[in-house]
């Protein structure tokens, strides 16, 4: 039994059908399991859906017939269910459904060429519309925000252990910290980590997506910890950077620059703001401070059923933020041979601005010197 209100997909299907009508399309072919889950509540590992203006079908194989019935009923999904004996039969059935329509949208990112050729039907006009469902998924409903918010709290709760963990053990490794964080997130109620937890210390902190290894955390290190929890398919995302003991002036300056830029970028998040403008402001500010060459990635991205999804907070993106979107704000600076600093919060765009979902401290990153052995 879920601790949250049930996810109901009626409104999601209504929005998709309204988009079909507005675009003079009769149906959309859906191959992404993420999009199928969003539209139906089905969480199996194989399935294809066709959503029409007035109905549609979810086709699954024999492993998932009962699961599909239960999950679609729970989500109040009005799609019919067809159970196929083989993948070939599934493709043939879907192709017949597609052929019964006139103009069918599809997202080329959801299919291999072979799949598309077998599913495309013989008489329908296939219209490539990438992101057709993804654009609807951008705006989260209350049930989604509830799960994402709980996932963020699980990560916040786990991260509280870091000062004690590093402070009590002079031989603690990056892997040790990662393992403890992932255990504590599960203990707090998460299903698991949202992605491969990043713990990057010392020179490794200059690698934005470093994989935790056997390096022992040492005095003078910057330790970048990027951690998120997974709750009923929904992700959270957060990064904090800790400075251990007596660190160089260079690291302190990097930290203050990132903290100040990140805080201003957070304050920019509100409805109607162009996504690219947030990233451009961060880059311009870092350039003004003389550290533009230390920027290695864009400022943020959407979070939901995927850890990286639209909208994208990167230069040149013309989309504007909308109420209900969940985004990260995560500027960073990385200097090879020295280390790096990244601070990341997860926010919901609201009518009046935003709500921050991640609450771990970021004003006082310094940890005491490590114990001597």
**pLDDT at 275 (0 to 100):** 98
Q: What pLDDT digit, counting tens, does each position of 303-336 carry?
A: 999 999 999 999 999 999 999 999 999 999 999 9
Verify that 14 and 104 share a domain, yes or no.
yes
Question: Could you give the number of structural domains in the chain?
Answer: 2
Q: What pLDDT digit, counting tens, does each position of 328-358 carry?
A: 999 999 999 999 999 999 999 999 999 999 9
CATH number, domain at 92?
Answer: 3.40.350.10
**pLDDT at 372 (0 to 100):** 63
At which of 137, 161, 184 does a domain end? Answer: 137
Q: How far is CA 343 from CA 157, 181, 209, in A?
A: 17, 17, 14
Percent of the chain predicted with pLDDT > 70 = 97
Instruction: Give domain status of residue 3, yes or no.
Output: no
Q: Give the integer Cα–Cα distance in Å for 41 and 303.
A: 18
**pLDDT at 118 (0 to 100):** 87
Query: pLDDT averaged over the chain?
Result: 95
Q: Give the integer Cα–Cα distance in Å for 51 and 311.
A: 24
Instruction: Give domain status of residue 111, yes or no.
Output: yes
Instruction: Give domain status of residue 373, yes or no.
Output: no
Percent of the chain predicted with pLDDT > 90 = 89
Tokens linked to 253:
């300056």
Instruction: Give domain status of residue 4, yes or no.
Output: no
Q: What is the mean pLDDT of residues 248-270?
A: 97
Domain that holds residue 20: 10-137
At which of 80, 107, 137 does a domain end? Answer: 137
Verify that 206 and 250 share a domain, yes or no.
yes
Verify that 245 and 278 share a domain, yes or no.
yes
pLDDT score of 364 more than 80: no
DSSP bridge partners of 30: 49
Q: What pLDDT digit, counting tens, does each position of 238-247 carry?
A: 999 999 999 9
Verify that 83 and 214 share a domain, yes or no.
no
Q: What is the mean pLDDT of residues 67-71?
A: 97
Q: What is the mean pLDDT of residues 89-118?
A: 92
Q: Give the integer Cα–Cα distance in Å for 262 and 300.
A: 11
Verify that 353 and 258 share a domain, yes or no.
yes
Instruction: Give domain status of residue 350, yes or no.
Output: yes
Verify that 179 and 98 share a domain, yes or no.
no
Verify that 200 and 286 share a domain, yes or no.
yes
Q: What pLDDT digit, counting tens, does each position of 195-232 carry?
A: 999 999 999 999 999 999 999 999 999 999 999 999 99
**pLDDT at 196 (0 to 100):** 97
pLDDT score of 370 more than 80: no
> At a CB cut-off of 8 Å and minimum separation 6, what does 343 contact?
239, 240, 241, 258, 259, 262, 330, 331, 332, 362
What residue spans of the chain are helical by DSSP H? 10-22, 33-40, 65-74, 87-99, 113-119, 134-137, 142-159, 162-168, 174-188, 249-268, 275-288
Verify that 89 and 161 share a domain, yes or no.
no
Q: What is the mean pLDDT of residues 120-134?
A: 87
pLDDT score of 3 more than 90: no
Q: Are 86 and 97 in contact (CB under 8 A)?
A: no
Instruction: Give domain status of residue 5, yes or no.
Output: no
pLDDT band at 121 (very low <50, low <70, confident <90, very high): low
Verify that 205 and 350 share a domain, yes or no.
yes
pLDDT score of 169 more than 90: no
Verify that 244 and 129 share a domain, yes or no.
no
Tell me the pairing of strands 48-52 and 27-30.
antiparallel
Instruction: Give domain status of residue 295, yes or no.
Output: yes
The rounded Cα 273 to chain-centroid distance in angstroms is: 20
Short-list 135, 126, 104, CA closest to 15: 135
Long-range contacts of 282-290 (CB under 8 A, 24+ apart): 282/331, 283/315, 285/261, 286/257, 286/261, 286/331, 286/333, 289/257
Verify that 215 and 76 share a domain, yes or no.
no
CATH number, domain at 161?
Answer: 3.90.230.10
pLDDT band at 373 (very low <50, low <70, confident <90, very high): low
The rounded Cα 44 to chain-centroid distance in angstroms is: 20
Would you say the C-alpha torsion 351, 357, 362, 363 has a positive or negative sign?
Answer: positive
Instruction: Give domain status of residue 125, yes or no.
Output: yes
pLDDT score of 269 more than 70: yes
**pLDDT at 38 (0 to 100):** 98
pLDDT score of 368 more than 90: no
pLDDT score of 54 more than 90: yes
Verify that 114 and 203 share a domain, yes or no.
no
pLDDT score of 363 more than 90: no
pLDDT score of 1 more than 80: no
At which of 92, 108, 137 does a domain end? Answer: 137
pLDDT score of 286 more than 90: yes
Could you please report the per-residue DSSP string of 187-229? HHT-SEESS--EEEEGGGGGSTTPPP-SPBP-TT-EEEEEE-E
Reading phi first (left if > 0) and then psi (alpha if -120 to 50, else beta), residue 316 is in: left
DSSP bridge partners of 222: 243
Q: Are 373 and 171 in contact (CB under 8 A)?
A: yes
What DSSP element (H or E) covers 366? strand 366-367
């Amino acid at each position: 039994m879920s601790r949250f209100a049930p996810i109901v997909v009626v409104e999601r299907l209504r929005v998709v059908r309204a988009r079909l009508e507005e675009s003079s399309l009769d149906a959309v072919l859906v191959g992404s399991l993420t999009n199928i889950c969003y539209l139906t509540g089905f969480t199996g590992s194989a399935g294809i859906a066709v959503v029409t203006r007035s109905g549609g079908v979810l086709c699954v194989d024999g492993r998932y017939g009962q699961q599909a019935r239960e999950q679609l009923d729970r989500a109040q999904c009005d799609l019919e269910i067809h159970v196929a004996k083989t993948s070939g039969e599934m493709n043939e059935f879907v192709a017949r459904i597609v052929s019964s329509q006139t103009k069918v949208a599809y997202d080329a990112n959801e299919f291999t060429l072979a799949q598309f050729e077998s599913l495309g039907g013989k008489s329908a006009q296939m219209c490539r519309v990438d992101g057709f469902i993804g654009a609807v998924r951008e705006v989260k409903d209350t049930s989604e925000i509830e799960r994402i918010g709980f996932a963020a709290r699980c990560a916040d709760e786990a991260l509280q252990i870091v000062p004690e963990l590093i402070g009590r053990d002079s031989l603690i490794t990056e892997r040790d910290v990662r393992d403890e964080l992932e255990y504590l997130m599960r203990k707090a109620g998460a299903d698991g980590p949202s992605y491969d937890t990043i713990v990057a210390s010392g020179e490794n902190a200059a690698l934005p997506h470093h994989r935790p290894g056997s390096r022992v955390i040492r005095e003078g290190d910057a330790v970048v910890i990027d951690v998120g929890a997974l709750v009923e398919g929904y992700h959270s995302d957060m990064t904090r950077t800790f400075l251990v003991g007596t660190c160089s002036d260079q690291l302190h300056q990097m930290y203050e620059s990132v903290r100040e830029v990140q805080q201003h970028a957070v304050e920019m998040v509100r409805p109607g703001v162009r996504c690219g403008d947030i990233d451009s402001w961060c880059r311009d500010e870092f350039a003004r401070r003389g550290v533009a060459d230390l920027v290695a990635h864009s400022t943020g991205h959407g979070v939901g059923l995927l850890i990286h999804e639209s909208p994208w907070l990167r230069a040149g993106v013309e989309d504007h933020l909308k109420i209900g979107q969940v985004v990260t704000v995560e500027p960073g600076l990385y200097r090879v041979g020295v280390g790096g600093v990244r601070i990341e919060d997860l926010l919901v765009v609201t009518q009046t601005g935003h709500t921050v979902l991640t609450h771990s401290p970021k004003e006082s990153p310094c940890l005491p010197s490590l114990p001597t052995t």
